[in-house]
Amino acid sequence: MKHTIAVIVENKSGVLTRIAGLFSRRSFNIDSLSVGATDNPDYSRMTMTVEGDRDVLEQVIKQLSKLINVIRVSELEPGESVERELAIIKVSADKESRSEIMQIVNIFRAKIIDISHRSMIIEVTGDEEKIDAIVQLLRQFGIKEMARTGKVSMVRGARIIKA
Amino acid sequence: MSQKMTGAQAVLESLKREGVDVVFGLPGGVLLPLYDAIYQSDIHHILVRHEQGAAHMADGYARATGKVGVCIATSGPGATNLVTGIANAYMDSVPMVAITGQVNTWLIGKDAFQEADITGITLPITKHNYLLRSAKDITRVFREAFYIARTGRPGPVLIDLPRDVTVDEVEFSWPQVDLPGYRPSVKAHEMQIKKAAKALMEAESPVIYVGGGVKYAGAHRELIDLATKINAPVTTTLMGLGCFPEDHPLSLGMLGMHGTKYANYAIQESDLILAIGARFDDRVTGKISSFAPRAKIVHIDVDPAEVGKNVRVDIPVVGDAKNALQGLLKEVSPKGRSVWNEKTEGWKKDYPLRYIPDMNVIKPQYVIEKLCELAPDAIITTEVGQNQMWAAQFFVHKDPQKFISSGGLGTMGYGFPAAIGAKMGRPECDVIDVAGDGSFLMNSQELATAVVNDIPVKVAVLNNGCLGMVRQWQELFFEKRYSATILGRASPDFVKLAEAYGAVGLRATKPSEVESVIRTALATDRPVVMDFIVNPAEKVSPMVPAGATLSEILELEWCDEVQSCHLEKIYAQGRKDILGQEGF
């Protein structure tokens, strides 16, 4: 089972290593990880997707909380939070295929952010399933390159996860 | 009042403010400025002969006193030599601050001479670590390091100190600790205490299972009060030995792989286990799926991550053991003796720890019994293996700070330097390292440290000529193929080794000599190595085979005569080959 957790950490060098090291030595699996600054530059926020049952998740949260540089760890329940990923995809595109690709881009409310005679770069945001779906559709034209961020996630409503 | 000083002086001033009176270390190139400051300060520095010794000494000092132990090593190899000692302290939750030298900040990452990424290397074996990059951070980092090392679940903290940071000038200040991500849980939740108390009251066959957490929390008084108030038998782990006096009628001694039969039987038949400051280690639980099958489990631990890590817990109580026990004491009402008490006492009578005494050959267990008889209040440190288990089994432990052993990591070579550290912290106590001939050699160079600094520790080498615990397993599970476990009896001659260092060497080859050797050692105000030539084939018993259930504990045939002769023959053969002479 997959779980999403938000981790607020001190914005210091070596913190990512501490977290990655913890995961490898305790045999926890990270499916996805994204890190970025928060509104307070002293803190960063990580969103992680971890694989495992409830007991594993509990251990992940407790072990993370033990790290001195970790300020807060919270689970984000799938039903109660919004999740987004971003992908940029370079697709083969010539005169014949260009319009069909643009239709797909429109349907997915994605964007074309670069274009050349032979290719386009498409930017798409959404949850994992949506990105998987557009990738699937674009495959027929030939995906030359793809870069995906990990997931970022936030609880709906008034609840706040901050340092 | 602020004062200008060098980084090195700020380090020394920080140590002083943290109440450090002794440090164990060995200098090196990048540490020259720090050692120059040490030279000019009144801190007591013990020069070791190998940095691993420094780490174990700091560890032994910490366990014997409850204070934070401090060790110092230079960059590169000095720092990596500390690694085993740091890992050892981490596994056993020992408060320690390790200070390592580092190359100048502008050389870091350039593979400079004697550079090692020690913060990277020690990341998984420290509670936290720091690489200092500016002298202005020294005091804050030292203050945080000591705070982290001694609070919550204690552990080692490493501070990597680049050379230039120790040279730079800094205005001294002593800032308050401000760690937003570190909130050790100390006070147990009242609701959980109530639940735990209720479960204890309802239980018909409870067992209190105690680990090192009770020792670190200084909660042994409260433990005794609780156990006697509700008449619950108490078993301890290796780390918890001494937390509950073993001459108390409710004591079940140690549990687990080489624990007592009665402790293991009691655990397996209990309907409630109150675990305090213990972590359900595999050496304790045996086969985890059949551990205490009927028992409800209450787990008190200061580290929330330990609760539910290895076994399912019915009532978790996160908090300091002393605080939790005080809470429990208020909630429970006295309970009289029960059928359960009679049952556990019956097991104690029926299955005592024993061995077969011998008139001609020294039995290692006999040496431990004699040590206990002649020095009942001594601090006992141990190496790892058979010597450790016999010391655990046959010494009557009554004081939590007086049994010092490498539990989690199982570090051979730990006991002797730990003894030196313990003696530095508790000079009024006799300190005896129970050693094997294998482990003692791993840090015997510290004899020089003990002699030069006049630290009169005693070493009792149970000399069986082999790596006994591994040999025992080979005898039992590998059809007596003694692969790489035979050391021979006189490699080296421990009496001469002691004398070479300026220590006193004594030897006993017959049971009748044991007592006088121990008496002489205790009466000698110098470091002494006692070489006890013990039966080579003696095994540690009872034993729960690896992966078996605790109730499947076996009484081993302690000593197989054929094996004994066989081993003696191998030893004699070996000596003949090496020295061209027979016998010892």
Q: A62 and A87: one domain?
A: no
| Residues in chain A within 8 Å Cβ distance of B303 | 66
Q: How far apart are CA B33 and CA B560, in angstroms?
A: 59
Torsion of CA B396, B398, B399, B405, to 10 degrees: 30
Residue-number span of the structural domain to which A51 is assigned: 2-76
B580 touches chain A (CB under 8 A): no
DSSP for residue B402 = G
| Residues in chain A within 8 Å Cβ distance of B128 | 68
Where does the pLDDT of residue B1 fall: very low under 50, low under 70, confident under 90, or very high at 90 and above? low
Where does the pLDDT of residue B577 fall: very low under 50, low under 70, confident under 90, or very high at 90 and above? low
Q: What is the pLDDT of residues A108-151, one digit of tens each?
A: 999 999 999 999 999 999 999 999 999 999 999 999 999 999 99
- Determine the distance in angstroms separating the CA of B129 from the nearest CA of chain A, rounded to an integer: 10
Q: Do B308 and A55 touch (CB under 8 A)?
A: yes
Q: Which of B107, B105, B110 is nearest to B134 (CA)?
A: B105
A76, A111, A127: which is the final residue of a domain?
A76
Is the separation of the CB atoms in A53 and A1 below 8 Å? yes
The three-state (H, E, C) secondary structure of B116-151, written as one string: CCHHHHCHHHCCEEEECCCHHHHHHHHHHHHHHHHC
| Residues in chain B within 8 Å Cβ distance of A18 | 123
Q: Say if A161 falls within a structural domain.
A: no
Q: A88 and A67: one domain?
A: no
And the tokens for B259? 């624990």
And the tokens for A75? 């689970």
Q: A13 and A70: one domain?
A: yes
Nearest to A10 among B181, B305, B308 (CB): B181
Q: What CATH number is associated with residue A23? A: 3.30.70.260
Q: What CATH number is associated with residue A134? A: 3.30.70.1150
Q: What is the pLDDT of residues A4-20, one digit of tens each?
A: 999 999 999 899 999 99
Q: Do A68 and B304 touch (CB under 8 A)?
A: no
A57 touches chain B (CB under 8 A): no
φ/ψ (deg, to 5) at A124: -135, 140
Q: Do B308 and A21 touch (CB under 8 A)?
A: no
Q: Which of B348, B282, B246 is nearest to B550 (CA)?
A: B282
Q: What is the CATH number of domain B190-350?
A: 3.40.50.1220
Whether B582 shows a pLDDT value over 50: the answer reads: no
| Residues in chain B within 8 Å Cβ distance of A58 | 308
Number of domains in chain A: 2
B356 touches chain A (CB under 8 A): no
* Domain regions of chain B by residue span: 4-170, 190-350, 364-537+554-579
Q: Do A9 and B305 touch (CB under 8 A)?
A: no
Q: Say if A162 falls within a structural domain.
A: no
Q: How far apart are CA A4 and CA B142, in angstroms?
A: 36
Whether B143 shows a pLDDT value over 80: the answer reads: yes
| Residues in chain B within 8 Å Cβ distance of A65 | 304-305
- Average per-residue pLDDT for chain B: 95
Q: How far apart are CA B41 and CA B212, in angstroms?
A: 35
Topology alike, domains B4-170 and B364-537+554-579: yes
CATH classification number, B4-170, choose in 3.40.50.970, 3.40.630.30, 3.40.50.150, 1.10.150.120: 3.40.50.970
Q: A8 and A66: one domain?
A: yes
pLDDT at site B581: 44
Q: How far apart are CA B149 and CA A108, in angstroms?
A: 53
Q: A69 and A111: one domain?
A: no
Segment (H or E) for B197: helix B190-202
Of B19 and B583, the structure prediction assigns the larger pLDDT to B19
Nearest chain B residue to A8 by CA distance is: B181
Distances (CA, A) of A24 to A94, B4, B90, B154: 45, 44, 18, 23
CB atoms within 10 A of CB A121: 19
Q: Which residue has the tokens 């409710």?
A: B250
pLDDT at site A78: 82
Nearest chain A residue to B132 by CA distance is: A13
| Residues in chain B within 8 Å Cβ distance of A69 | 181
A32 touches chain B (CB under 8 A): no
A58 touches chain B (CB under 8 A): yes
Q: Do B308 and A59 touch (CB under 8 A)?
A: yes
A38 touches chain B (CB under 8 A): no
B179 touches chain A (CB under 8 A): yes
Q: What is the pLDDT of residues B264-281, one digit of tens each?
A: 999 999 999 999 999 999
Q: Do A66 and B120 touch (CB under 8 A)?
A: no
Mean pLDDT across B68-95: 98
Q: Do B179 and A68 touch (CB under 8 A)?
A: yes
Q: What is the pLDDT of residues B453-488, one digit of tens each?
A: 999 999 999 999 999 999 999 999 999 999 999 998
Angle, vertex CA B275, rays to CA B270 and CA B276, nearest 5: 150
Q: Do B123 and A18 touch (CB under 8 A)?
A: yes
- Average per-residue pLDDT for chain A: 95
Nearest chain A residue to B311 by CA distance is: A55
- Which of B151, B179, B182, B279 has the highest number of chain A CBs within 10 A, making it the mutation to test binding with A? B182
B305 touches chain A (CB under 8 A): yes
A76, A108, A131: which is the final residue of a domain?
A76
Q: A91 and A114: one domain?
A: yes
Nearest to A163 among B180, B308, B309 (CB): B180
| β pairing state of B251-254 and B272-276 | unpaired
A76, A103, A126: which is the final residue of a domain?
A76
Contacts 24+ apart (CB under 8 A), A135-141: A135/A87, A135/A89, A137/A104, A138/A89, A138/A91, A138/A101, A138/A104, A141/A91, A141/A92, A141/A93, A141/A97, A141/A100, A141/A101
pTM for this model (two decimals): 0.95
Q: How far apart are CA B97 and CA B156, in angstroms?
A: 6
Q: How long a stretch of residues is chain A? A: 163
B178 touches chain A (CB under 8 A): no
- Determine the distance in angstroms separating the CA of A45 from the nearest CA of chain B, rounded to an integer: 14
Q: A91 and A45: one domain?
A: no
And the tokens for B294? 């009927």
Does the domain spanning B364-537+554-579 belong to CATH 3.40.50.2020? no
Q: Say if A163 falls within a structural domain.
A: no
B218 conformational bin, left if phi > 0, alpha if psi -120 to 50, beta if neither: left
Q: Do B180 and A10 touch (CB under 8 A)?
A: yes
- Assembly ipTM: 0.91
Nearest to A21 among B124, B181, B304 (CB): B124
Segment (H or E) for B564: helix B561-579
Q: Do B180 and A58 touch (CB under 8 A)?
A: no
B124 touches chain A (CB under 8 A): yes
Whether B579 shows a pLDDT value over 50: the answer reads: no
Q: A109 and A141: one domain?
A: yes
